[in-house]
Structure 1
Amino acid sequence: MKLLVTGGAGFIGSAVIRHIISNTQDEVVNLDKLTYAGNLESLTEVSSNERYAFEQVDICNRAELDRVLAQHQPDAIMHLAAESHVDRSIDGPADFIETNIVGTYTLLEATRQYWQTMSADRCENFRFHHISTDEVYGDLPHPNDNSEGERNFPSPRVGEGPGERGQSLPLFTEQTPYAPSSPYSASKASSDHLVRAWQRTYGLPVLVTNCSNNYGPYHFPEKLIPLVILNALEGKPLPVYGKGDQIRDWLFVEDHARALYKVVKEGTPGETYNIGGHNEKQNIEVVHTICDILQELRPQERSYRNLITNVKDRPGHDMRYAIDASKIQKELGWAPEETFETGIRKTVQWYLNNLDWCQRVQDGSYQRERLGAGA
């Protein structure tokens, strides 16, 4: 196959491309605008491969999309290009509307025109894979809550939550109603709806995946885990929103890359697959774990935990996300290989070994200051 990956210079997109080039014989065309969060250094290990090509294109540019599709003739599209930071969406929602909604619409229309010109067999086998987030579902009941609020959660799976053992808490399933909380998640929910509408109306063979919080190598330092690692190494405060009791399901990015490739190759058109790491952790637990690993690998006299600073919570902050990934495991045979303990150790070690990369990607435009506090 020849795969067109939008946003391939970003955190998840670059992991997908590294996985494909390193582990398959497929070809990849990386289409990326190269915003602040896109960095071709994330692809150094595969960029010289003859099966890899790069196109610097904005997904809102219809003429350039038409050119790329006609020139490269991909067999599938994996659409990851998106503005993805909640705090930035609070400060400047317009960019999120433009890229995530208008950009997805533009790409869908270019793809539809291209798809309709294919031969019958290529047309039947073509796939448009839209990569989204669990944040479109809103938030879930927290183990510290006594009620589930006003929302109804269909067929919750019973399992052990991060609070009391044996606690029955609902998880996001593929049927969970959408209830986005931030400009970011609302824009991603909108793009999900567009993708599904293009199948229902035009017959475009689409796949949708919604994933939990990713972490791992090459993550831009505005996100929690790299921010904590780098601030700790410099002796700077480690900002924790509110009490730090917000719960996320953490997914190692290389596990996610394997899942996405399996979906585009084996998934059933029209289906949605939730992808999670089976690792529910409170934010404060994540920060404590990072501090303890750093204390082991880069010991200092005072514990890194002393740098933890509680700050005012993010506006509209969701309290808990948790994915039921049983569908993709049952139907496609995917399950995460990394536990949070193994994945976070690999991640911390990678940042320790690649501090020069971290310095270069910040390039003076972002120095790990807090974003999204203005609201």
Structure 2
Amino acid sequence: MANLLITGGAGFIGGNFVHYWAEKHTGDTMVVLDCLTYAGNESTIAGVEQAELVKDDIRNTERIEKLLREREIDTVVHFAAESHVDRSISGPDAFIDTNILGTNSLLKAARTVWLDEGSGKAHRFHHISTDEVYGSLGPDDPAFSETTPYRPNSPYSASKASSDHLVRAYHHTFGLEVTTSNCSNNYGPYQYPEKLIPLFLLNALHGRSLPIYGDGMNVRDWLHVEDHCRGIEACLAKGQPGETYNIGGGAELANMTVIDTICAEVDLAFEEIDDLAERYPDAPAANGHATSSLKTFVTDRAGHDRRYAIDERKARAELGYSPRHEFEEGLRQTLRWYLENESWWRALL
């Protein structure tokens, strides 16, 4: 039986992890620490009896220390982060505060309680990061591996790179038992509708334009959030302290391919679900038109990385990880989840 502190556990990936862990590890307890910003939603983890929500900021080091002591926490899974690249361009300060200072606050608290107070408690601090810390790949470059040099190109990725280095330093300097995973683009249920897949779905339902940066040929690897949760579980169970593992989805796709797949799946949903046209009368598909008619090209994002790709051979070999979701099937499940859970995303908007 483990006692987990899950930071950012009311957000997209963290919330899915809470659901996953509750199903797979029924005897464990979870304290979810989340300050419930725009991207954190209490309803995401509503009904998970194993999870206790504590509303606070990860920069509140004293509160973290108290939780670690009083709840006898032995595992920290650190999701909490500002993560939207566009927001980091318009307002980088929040990314420095949360991603760097917040991570340092958690590490300080863990060091104090787990190491300095001499409890000798077996512990693990797992840090969730991103493939964006590695920078941008050319069309023929090999995929990112755990030894790829860091070359972050946005304030978001720079702040995550800094937090990665802090986690590594706390292991090598102080002996904190840490692991880090760098993941590719996640998709799935409970994702705040500022990211590509839920944004384009909701825009399509309401007849709004689908804004495509540049030529739409930027390439990303797509990872279903449930596969990501399985990868984190494997890191906690089999990961070696001080090591980093890349967690990918095995679906390297151009943005335009993803967008065209979304459009096709929305059209299909309107054909198969009788009441969609009545519920969303402004959707082109409700009036016999193709969703793709909403595609609009806009000025490219500043510093937009061209290609990401994940080499996950280390995770396969050392953790036994491999993704189970094929992209088209996972995307269909995701879109249908949003259609079936309108009350969840309506409350956000």
Same-fold status (TM-score > 0.5): yes
Local SS of the residue matching 2:246: strand
* Residues in 2 aligned to 1:245 and 1:86: alpha-carbon distance in whole angstroms: 18
* Residues in 2 aligned to 1:320 and 1:206: alpha-carbon distance in whole angstroms: 29
Corresponding residue number in structure 1 for 2:344: 357
Q: Residues 43-122 of structure 1: matches in 2 within 5 Å? A: 43-46=45-48, 49=49, 51-116=50-115, 117=117, 119-120=119-120, 122=121
Q: Select which of 225, 230, 241 maps to 2:197.
A: 225
- For structure 1, the 5+ residue unaligned runs are 143-167, 363-375
Corresponding residue number in structure 1 for 2:186: 214
Corresponding letter in the other structure for 1:173: S
Verify the 8 A CA contact 2:67 2:73 in the aligned structure 1.
no
* Residues in 1 aligned to 2:160 and 2:300: alpha-carbon distance in whole angstroms: 22
Corresponding residue number in structure 1 for 2:260: 288
* Residues in 2 aligned to 1:118 and 1:39: alpha-carbon distance in whole angstroms: 36
Local SS of the residue matching 2:334: helix
Residue 356 of structure 1: CA displacement? Answer: 1.9
Corresponding residue number in structure 2 for 1:128: 125
* Residues in 1 aligned to 2:108 and 2:304: alpha-carbon distance in whole angstroms: 34
Local SS of the residue matching 2:150: coil
1:17-48 CA-to-partner distances (Å, cap 9, x unmatched) read 111111113211111111100001111241xx
1:87-111 CA-to-partner distances (Å, cap 9, x unmatched) read 0000100000000011111111111
Local SS of the residue matching 2:53: strand
Corresponding residue number in structure 1 for 2:307: 320
Verify the 8 A CA contact 1:15 1:257 in the aligned structure 2.
yes
* Residues in 1 aligned to 2:341 and 2:201: alpha-carbon distance in whole angstroms: 12
Local SS of the residue matching 1:128: strand
Corresponding letter in the other structure for 1:284: M
- After alignment, is 63-72 or 126-135 more displaced? 63-72
Residue 119 of structure 1: CA displacement? Answer: 3.3
Residue 265 of structure 1: CA displacement? Answer: 2.1
Q: Structure 1 residue 194 and structure 2 residue 162: aligned?
A: no
1:271-311 CA-to-partner distances (Å, cap 9, x unmatched) read 10000000001111101001001101114211000100000
- For structure 2, the 5+ residue unaligned runs are 272-284
* Residues in 2 aligned to 1:9 and 1:174: alpha-carbon distance in whole angstroms: 28
Q: Structure 1 residue 330 and structure 2 residue 309: aligned?
A: no
Q: Residues 242-253 of structure 1: matches in 2 within 5 Å? A: 242-253=214-225
Verify the 8 A CA contact 1:16 1:261 in the aligned structure 2.
no
Corresponding residue number in structure 1 for 2:208: 236
Percent of residue pairs bearing the same amino acid type: 52
Q: Structure 1 residue 140 and structure 2 residue 137: aligned?
A: yes
Verify the 8 A CA contact 1:232 1:307 in the aligned structure 2.
yes
Runs of 4+ aligned structure 1 residues displaced above 6 Å come to none
Q: Select which of 28, 33, 36 maps to 1:34.
A: 36
Local SS of the residue matching 1:298: helix
Verify the 8 A CA contact 1:57 1:65 in the aligned structure 2.
no
Corresponding residue number in structure 1 for 2:250: 278
Corresponding letter in the other structure for 2:265: I
Q: Residues 10-29 of structure 1: matches in 2 within 5 Å? A: 10-24=11-25, 25-29=27-31
Q: Residues 161-176 of structure 1: matches in 2 within 5 Å? A: 169-176=141-148
Corresponding letter in the other structure for 2:321: W
Verify the 8 A CA contact 1:288 1:305 in the aligned structure 2.
yes
How many residues align structurally? 331
* Residues in 2 aligned to 1:56 and 1:264: alpha-carbon distance in whole angstroms: 25
Verify the 8 A CA contact 2:238 2:318 in the aligned structure 1.
no
Corresponding letter in the other structure for 2:137: L
TM-score (norm 2): 0.93
Corresponding residue number in structure 1 for 2:293: 306
* Residues in 1 aligned to 2:234 and 2:197: alpha-carbon distance in whole angstroms: 27
Over 3 Å counting, the alpha-carbon distance change for 1:356 and 1:292 in structure 2 is same
Verify the 8 A CA contact 2:221 2:310 in the aligned structure 1.
yes
Residue 118 of structure 1: CA displacement? Answer: 5.0
CA RMSD across the alignment: 1.0
Residue 169 of structure 1: CA displacement? Answer: 4.0
**Structure with higher helix content:** 2
